[in-house]
Structure 1
Amino acid sequence: MLRLLLKTHTNSSPPPGLTPLALAACLALAGPGSAWAQGQSQVGTEVRQIARPAAKTLSRTEADRNQPVLLDAASLSSRLDQETRAEGGAVLRRGDLTLKADSLSYHQATDLATAKGAVSIERDGNRFTGPELRLFVQRFEGQFLNPSYFFASNGAGGKAQQVDFIDEYRSSALAGTYSSCRADDPDRAPAWELSTRSIRLDFETNEGVADGAVVRFYGVPILAAPRLSFPLGDGRKSGWLPPKFNLDSRSGVEFGVPYYWNIAPQRDATLTPKIITRRGLGLDSEFRYLEPGYQGQVSLDVLPNDRITGHTRWAWGLSQSGTAAMDWRYQINAERVSDDIYWKDFPHGITSLTPRLLATDLGASRTWTPAVGELRLYGRLQQWQVLQDLDPAARIDTPYQRSPQLGARWSAERLPRGFDAGLSLEYNRFDLPRNAAPLPLPTGTRVHALGHLGWTLGDTGWWLKPRMSFNAASYQLDQSMADGRRSASRVVPTFSIDQGWLFERKTEYFGRALLQTLEPRLFYVRTPFRDQLGLPNFDAAAKDFNFDSIYTDNSFSGVDRVSDAHQLTLGVSSRLTSLRDGSELLRLGVVQRVLFRDQRITPEGTPNTQKLSDLLLLGSAHLSPQWWADGAIQYNSDLNRTVRSVMSLRYSPGPFRTINATYRLARGQSEQAELGWQWPLSGPAAGNNAESAVRKATGGSSCSGSWYSVGRVLYSMQDRRITDSLVGFEYDAGCWIGRVVVERRSTGRAEANTRWMFQLELVGLGRLGNNPLNVLRDNIPGYRLLREDRAALTDASYD
């Protein structure tokens, strides 16, 4: 093997990376939609980042410009400062660029390299191969005939008839293809393939233009565009996004094609014309902005003439946050719909977690840090749109509106000698929404003050926290109370002591070194009785009785109710943690409350004469990597039975294998069983054959991938029916993934909406159809996305 070092002297700047490799961006983005890959490296993503534009550097450093050219070959012949010929395994290297060929000639004066026979260019794991190449090395100008290419970033590649490198920023390709599938038979097309008649790339303007783009799936064209433009790299570009469709039992088929409008680096919009088979034509729109002092988004969905209801249907939403004068911060969140049954007809069109209770919430606050503690001023305006049902039995109670809420809060958590203190003052005006349930509820104003002074003593193994607090409120009502008054006030003081210990010892179970703890805790509360029966209740609600709330000094959340108390809570818990990695293997706990006198103000509205509260038991175990168990039980000794319980079991022996079972009981109210899962049914994943799974991940054209079942079923034992269900199948062929999911959700006592979701994911290109991934993640604990990073997989040949 002979080696020759040639020093180059040109000052021209080479391209930003190997310009032919820009074809990866071109073909990966040149799908049937000019705005694919907004802010991402894949086509069809629904996440498009808006941000202030960053500086773009296209040239390399001076040191890189003067890199020498190194030639290796079995035979070398050279004329000084003119031409060098390399035969037999010729290799030309310059920096991180490697050019290989059977024969190669390099003209030093013109910087022209001519390569023939098994030509390949490699850089950063990306590879181009072909029969013949002419290339001016430093300025990257030339022509590559019939190249094949492979991109390490996503394990995809393709072919082209010809690639022309015009200069360091511009290039073009004829008859290019792109796919992440490897054909089992060289004479057969891969499972899916993107083809274009021609592509032109311009890195100065960050734009590419493709003519005649077609996506074929098993030879069948599924998407096409005569001409499209797209961004090169991570930029955003206006244009059409992949189509979306939805299918449910109330509206039929909904089909829409989004158009992405890149207004400015900090502003964009998406407009989606759509057609719903049973209802008519509509338009969904979203506008996003990111300005120096504020940011947010606005959405508006309109169905001008719903053929079923005979009137216009709409929904709009606004979310904005920012800063105003004098360092005030504000936030606006609002959502409204046209009618009460919108949540039934268009469940995917409402973003609120409470689809029948839509908020308009405006808030502002400012924080100061005086010499002691922190001071915060705030204001809020909260309104509700309540979506009531025509069935009186299905109507919902509505919360009060705050119009407005004004307050000041001072807190000091670290005063000298372990003291802490806080004081909160607040004014509220409470009224009811327009279509509130017809109940005789009072409205009016409330001024309240909450304060506390605490003291913390202790060390690493114990603590003692005495605390004094008060709750004071004054009311001015629009209606008369039972005794004829329209104003009232009260002050309720509270004293509490929280005492706890932490004991530890090292031990060994199951052949593992463990740390075992014993954690006793006492919590005493003394609150005198203050009559609150005739006072309004604007925001107080019963706390859930659990391991957290039992260690609090009030059985109510909110301000308007304070439970009287002379009680002691006794609890103990124990944990086993691994000394090797700190993971918790086992937790057990028991806690109970002792009343020293009857409690007259209770969430139930009747005095509590039970000296011993219900016993709470808690347990969780993770004794093996595959099994998890959790449980909580509320046991009533007077009834000698369990009144509430939650038991769950999870089995997950490996990736994409999880089964969750949960049982919930609230005696006299509900009893439910829930089952959720993700599990392979057949194929390489079902056999857990890692080598086969990696082999399939490189792609293939035959239907020999892995089938998965996913689902969640919620069964009401009290009603003896399935209330909500989600069942689907996923097929992973390595280079493409198919999903079919059916969701059935109750919308009333005798009503339900069934929704079908279909998605085809072409790995390395994008996802087409209705996206069920968020639904699967939200409903199936432990669900994992089938798509994995293909960059680390074997670089399958596309020759």
Structure 2
Amino acid sequence: MEAIKLPSKSQKSCSFKASFFNHCMNRNHFYPSLVLLGIAAPLAAQEQCLAPLEAFNTETLANEKEIVVKANNVEIQQDTIARFKGKVEISNQSARINAEHAIIDKDAQLLSASENIRYADKQIQVDSKNVTLDLSSNSLKLDSTEYRLRQLSGRGAADTIELNEDVGLKLLDVSFSSCPANAEDWRIQASSIELKPGELWGTAKHTRFYVKDIPVLYLPYFSFPVTELRQTGLLFPNISSSDSTGLAYEQPYYWNILPNLDATISPRLMSKRGVQLKTEVRYLTKQHSGEVNLEYLNNDNDSVTDKTRYFYRLMHQGELNNAWSISADMNGLSDDNYIVDLGSDFYNRADTHLFKTFGVSYHGDDLYFSARFRDFEIIGDHPSSYRALPEMKLNYELLDSEHLSLNIDSELTYFDNDDADVPKATRLHIAPTLTFPFRTSWAEFLAETSLLQTFYYQDNIDNSPQLDRNAERTLGRVRLYGAMSLEREISWFGDDAIQTLEPKFQYHYTSYQDQNNIGLYDTTRLLNDVVGLFRGQEFTGLDRISDTNQIALGVTSRVLDSNNKEQLSISLGQIFYFDDNQVLEANKEDNRSALAAELDWRISRRWFAQSEVQVSSKNQKIERSNISLEYRLSDDKLLQINHRYVRDLSGDKIDQMGLTATWPISSEWHWVGRYYRDLNLHRTTESYAGVQYESCCWAMQLVWQRHLTNRLDVLGNQSFNEYDSGINFRFVFKGMGSGSSSRKLLNEGLYGYRRPYFLSN
């Protein structure tokens, strides 16, 4: 095969042709799917239903600033006309044209190719009947084209594609669809699309949207952005129905304000309640990012007391410099039943507190400092929580060596409360800790001693005579921790495997001091699982530090197959108390804690079991348990049954059974369901069923659910006897800002689903 390098003028022209064509492809100029309605987001990668194109081979392309023509036969007439025949290949550094025939006319400044023409680069592949390149005007014309997008599922045709350095890109009688050619469920057709050089907007004329062969939308003329930025326009609507809202239609509109600023405005029409406006604003700078959400319902037609209803949310993360950073999480709503009645994308109907926090922090090599202002929006009739205004922490590492470290942890917090009758307090806590670590590849030992010094100034204590205005507490703490990891080779159901034995212990001693003169500001009792047995602290916060003289013993054993994949993990642990607790809030009835056990077992390739159990050492009854059994054939084929039990949770007994399942009916139909029942109260707490049809180019979801509303009355008391039922419908054309939708349905349908923590695929 012969190869000829074109003269410099042809090199310039062809180089213009290829680079401009690539420029248009990279910036989505040629994607008619983005033309209709200015779809807001770039095309998302999705499952390929069209036969995937071969990867574009760049190894045989020409060098930079060079055009190379190869052919089986070459004829040159008087150095003015060159004819190429048989497997003609014209390439530059980024693209390639293949044809059977090509002619270069030096006098007419024309390059033309015919028969089996294919243009290809990294983004697109175009088949055409004729290609003409006018070297004098730097224009390229392709006739009767069919194109395929290489990285996305998209295809279409254009009667003519014209590229010109001055005029730009023009497509005549162009179509686009993400469906295969023999199953075109939808397509977009336009008489012309024009993109001019240097312009930020393109124009389309006589655009029609077809479902099957039925036109459903016509736009005689409109303009659209042609940059890589997200594009302003309508998103797919959400249609739903429920007892609370009635029939609801939500239509999101995306507004691409700036490259680093956008908004989504979603009017929501509800037959029972009226029109709600939902807005989301996102911003991004080099050092800051955040999101602002505002939902507003001016006049609720279905509420007598709460006519004007709203919800707001602000999330912000930022860096002031390499060491200083700030964060904010602010939430609020108009009334306690807002989430129950209108729903929320950020909270659920069981939540009782909404965060209101702002913080600043410093990270140095040896020093960490943070200051947070922490408040809450309380939902329902719950005790008013203490606000930390502010909470400042300073951690300083004085020494850090292989076998010795010295840290000082300190905290200064002011606690305030909306309730005028409860105490307020300022707390200062300082805790230097000296640690002696020793680690090897198979063992770890840690000796640690701390001095815990806490000072309180308590105000508004007239109604709490047991509290002191000035209180001081000094405690000593010693902790000894040791762990080993031993291995041996075993046979596991006939296969080679490794079994580990991982014992660990912790001795924990904390001195005693009477703390009844200190209020409870951020302190609650902790629950112990196997991991929690080794915390050494029975409370959150610092208002109560229990005296301890105890040892915690635990052991974990794992079975690893020849691929180092975990087949079994079982853990046991218990605390043994040498002395009774003198801190009243930590008082216990036995000299041992409940026996905690955890099990994660890969029974077979498809079956998994997981359990967490705590058994009382006093009466040998189960105090808490969480057990699940799962059959998993693949990521979208699973069945799980689970049971949750708590003997006493704030005076209530929890005894619930749940069933979760997802399974494809066929290659296009899929269903997801979950069902939870309260065995103690003999009633269903939640049921959910969803079915989805998903083809290569469109998807439909239909979801039905019924659940307890947890609605609050005027006194803030929650009702646990009312149900809300609803239906939700979604429809998307894939390739128009939406990818595969099955994962979203799967995640929503598997709400509450939990895979075994230790086992992995």
Asked whether the equivalents of residues 379 and 404 of structure 1 are also in contact (C-alpha less than 8 Å), the reply is yes
Residue pair 1:400, 1:538 contacting (<8 A) in 2 also: yes
The structural deviation recorded for 1:546 is: 0.5
Shift of 1:587: 1.3
Alpha-carbon distance in structure 2 between the residues aligned to 1:353 and 1:523? 40
Deviations 1:150-179 (A, max 9, x none): 222123211222222223882111221111
Instruction: Tell me if structure 1 keeps the 8 A contact 2:4–2:68.
Output: yes
Quote the residue 2:19 is aligned against.
16
The answer to whether the 8 A contact 1:34-1:241 is kept is no
TM superposition shift of 1:560: 0.8
Q: What's the CA shift for 1:775?
A: 2.7
The one-letter code sitting in structure 2 at the alignment partner of 1:666 is: V
Other-structure match for 1:380:
372
Q: What is the number of equivalent residue pairs in this alignment?
A: 718
Question: Quick check: 1:31–1:214 contact (8 Å CA) kept in 2?
Answer: no
Matched, 1:340 2:332: no
Asked if 2 retains the 8 angstrom alpha-carbon contact of 1:8 and 1:68, the reply is: no
Q: Structure 2 CA distance, aligned partners of 1:41 and 1:136? A: 36
CA distance in 2, matches of 1:429, 1:37: 46
**Corresponding residue number in structure 1 for 2:612:** 632
The AA in structure 2 aligned to 1:407 is K
Specify the alignment match of 1:48 in structure 2: none
SS in 2 for 1:343: helix
Using a 3 Å threshold, how does the CA distance of structure 1 residues 9 and 328 change in structure 2: closer, same or farther? Answer: closer
Counterpart Cα distance in 1 of 2:254 and 2:115? 45
Deviation at 1:137, TM superposition (A): 7.2
SS in 2 for 1:550: helix
Would the aligned equivalents of 1:98 and 1:122 in 2 still touch at CA under 8 Å? yes
Partner of 2:703: 741
Opposite residue 596 of structure 2, the aligned amino acid is L
Alignment-mate amino acid for residue 560 of structure 1: D
Distance in 2, matches of 1:562 and 1:731, equals 57
Cα distance change of structure 1 residues 498 and 655 upon mapping to structure 2, 3 Å threshold: closer
Q: What is the CA distance between 1:520 and its match in structure 2?
A: 1.6
1:244, 1:137 → 2: CA distance?
A: 52
Partner of 1:690: none
Question: How has the CA–CA distance of structure 1 residues 533 and 226 changed in structure 2, closer, same or farther, with 3 Å as cutoff?
Answer: farther
Question: Is the CA contact 1:628–1:651 (under 8 Å) kept in the aligned structure 2?
Answer: yes
Q: Pick from 509, 524, 528: which aligns with 1:545? A: 528
Question: How far apart in 2 are the matches of 1:336 and 1:222?
Answer: 42
Amino acid at match of 2:655: E
Q: 2:434 aligns with which of 453, 458, 462?
A: 453
**1:432 and 2:436 are equivalent in the alignment:** no
2:152 partner SS: coil
Cα pair 1:183 1:191 within 8 Å, conserved: no
Aligned partner (choices 737, 749, 753) of residue 766 of structure 1: 737
Amino acid aligned to 2:485: L
User: Is the contact between residue 349 and residue 709 of structure 2 (CA under 8 Å) also seen in structure 1?
Assistant: no
- Rate the CA distance shift 1:468–1:735 in 2: closer, same or farther, 3 A: same
User: How far has the Cα of 1:145 moved from its partner?
Assistant: 2.6
Q: Distance between the aligned counterparts of 1:358 and 1:411, measured in 2?
A: 34
Q: What is the distance in 2 between the residues matched to 1:493 and 1:253?
A: 63
1:392-431 matched pairs, under 5 angstroms: 395-411=381-397, 415-416=400-401, 418-431=403-416
1:49-128 equivalences in 2 (<5 Å): 63-72=63-72, 77-86=75-84, 92-94=90-92, 97-101=95-99, 103-124=101-122, 126-128=124-126
CA distance in 1, matches of 2:580, 2:525: 18
Tell me whether 226-235 or 627-636 shows the greater mean CA deviation.
Answer: 226-235
Looking at structure 2, the residues matched to 709 and 240 of structure 1 have their Cα atoms a distance apart, in angstroms, of: 28
- Aligned residue type for 2:613: I
Are the structure 2 counterparts of residues 589 and 320 from structure 1 closer, same or farther at C-alpha, using a change threshold of 3 Å?
Answer: closer
CA distance in structure 1 between the partners assigned to 2:360 and 2:81 by the alignment: 74
Q: Please list, as runs of the form range in 1=range in 2, the aligned pairs for 1:552-567 lying within 5 A after superposition.
A: 552-567=535-550
Q: In structure 1, give the amino acid aligned to 2:141.
A: Q
Task: State the alpha-carbon separation in 2 of the partners of residues 756 and 232 from structure 1.
Answer: 38
Aligned to 1:797: none
Map of 1:173 onto structure 2 = 171
Cα contact 2:624–2:647 (8 A) shared by 1: yes
Mapping for residues 319-718 of structure 1, pairs under 5 Å: 319-324=315-320, 328-348=324-344, 350-351=346-347, 355-369=351-365, 374-388=366-380, 395-411=381-397, 415-416=400-401, 418-433=403-418, 441-475=422-456, 476-480=458-462, 481-483=464-466, 485-580=468-563, 582-601=564-583, 607-668=587-648, 669-682=653-666, 685=667, 706-718=668-680
* Structure 1 residue 674, shift from structure 2 partner: 2.0
SS of the equivalent of 2:19 reads coil
Mapping of 1:264-275 within 5 angstroms? 264-275=258-269
CA distance in 2, matches of 1:760, 1:216: 15
Q: Which residue of 2 aligns with 1:5?
A: 4
* 1:518–1:782 CA distance, 2 compared to 1 (3 A): closer
* Matching residue's letter, 1:199: I
Shift of 1:90: 5.5
TM-score, scaled to structure 1 = 0.82
Q: 1:626 to 1:317 in 2, by over 3 A?
A: same
- Residues in 1 aligned to 2:96 and 2:132: alpha-carbon distance in whole angstroms: 14
Question: 1:649/1:206 Cα in 2 relative to 1: closer, same or farther (>3 Å)?
Answer: farther
Secondary structure of residue in 2 paired with 1:557: coil
Deviates more, 1:22-31 or 1:269-278: 22-31
Is this contact kept in 1: 2:665–2:671, CA < 8 A? yes
Amino acid of the structure 1 residue aligned with 2:608: W
Q: Is the 8 A contact 1:380 1:404 kept in 2?
A: yes
Letter of the 2:308 counterpart: T
Residue 228 of structure 2: SS of its match in structure 1?
coil
Alpha-carbon displacement from aligned partner over 1:642-692 (angstroms, at most 9, x marks no partner): 22211122222234212222221112420122222221123xx4xxxxxxx
Alpha-carbon separation, structure 2, partners of 1:224 and 1:472: 75
Q: Given the superposition, is the C-alpha separation of residues 287 and 8 from structure 1 closer, same or farther in structure 2, using an over 3 Å criterion?
A: same
Flag structure 1 segments of 5+ consecutive residues without an equivalent. 44-60, 389-394, 686-705, 784-799
Deviations 1:428-456 (Å, cap 9, x if unpaired)? 2222247x9xxx74333322233322211
C-alpha deviation, 1:335, in angstroms: 1.2
- Given that 1:5 and 1:68 are in contact with CA atoms closer than 8 Å, whether structure 2 keeps it comes out as yes
Q: Deviations over 1:301-325 (max 9, x none)?
A: 2222222236322222222233448
CA contact (8 A) 1:41 1:233 kept: no
Letter of the aligned partner of 2:591 in structure 1? Answer: K
- Residues 424, 256 of structure 1: alpha-carbon distance in 2 compared, 3 angstrom cutoff: same
Deviation per residue, 1:372-406 (Å, 9 max, x gap)? xx223322212221122xxxxxx334431112223
Name the residue aligned to 1:149.
Answer: 147
SS at 2:344's partner residue?
Answer: helix
Residue matched to 1:775: 748
Moved more, 554-563 or 723-732: 723-732
Q: Any idea what SS the aligned residue of 1:532 has?
A: coil
Q: 1:169 to 1:287 in 2, by over 3 A?
A: farther
User: What is the CA-CA distance between 1:237 and the residue it aligns to?
Assistant: 3.4
Match of 2:180 in 1: 182
CA–CA distance in 2 between the matches of 1:564 and 1:635? 24
Shift of 1:568: 1.6
Return the offset for 1:550. Answer: 0.6
Cα contact 1:677–1:780 (8 A) shared by 2: no
User: Which residue pairs with 2:713 in the alignment?
Assistant: none
Q: Is 768-777 or 421-430 further displaced after alignment? A: 768-777
Counterparts of 1:42 and 1:500, CA distance in 2: 47
**AA paired with 2:177?**
S
In the aligned structure 1, how far is the partner of 2:102 from the partner of 2:3?
Answer: 13
Partner of 1:280: 274
Letter in 2 for 1:271: I
- Offset at residue 424 of structure 1 (A): 2.5
Aligned partners of 2:467 and 2:519 also within 8 Å: no
What is the CA distance between 1:283 and its match in structure 2?
2.6
Residues 165-198 of structure 1: per-residue CA shift (max 9 Å, x gap): 22388211122111122243xxxx7112122232
**Helix, strand or coil at the partner of 2:4:** strand
Q: Distance in 2 between matches of 1:655 and 1:325?
A: 43
User: Does structure 1 residue 722 correspond to structure 2 residue 684?
Assistant: yes
Task: Give the structure 2 partner of residue 699 of structure 1.
Answer: none
Residue 207 of structure 2 aligns with an amino acid whose one-letter code is: A
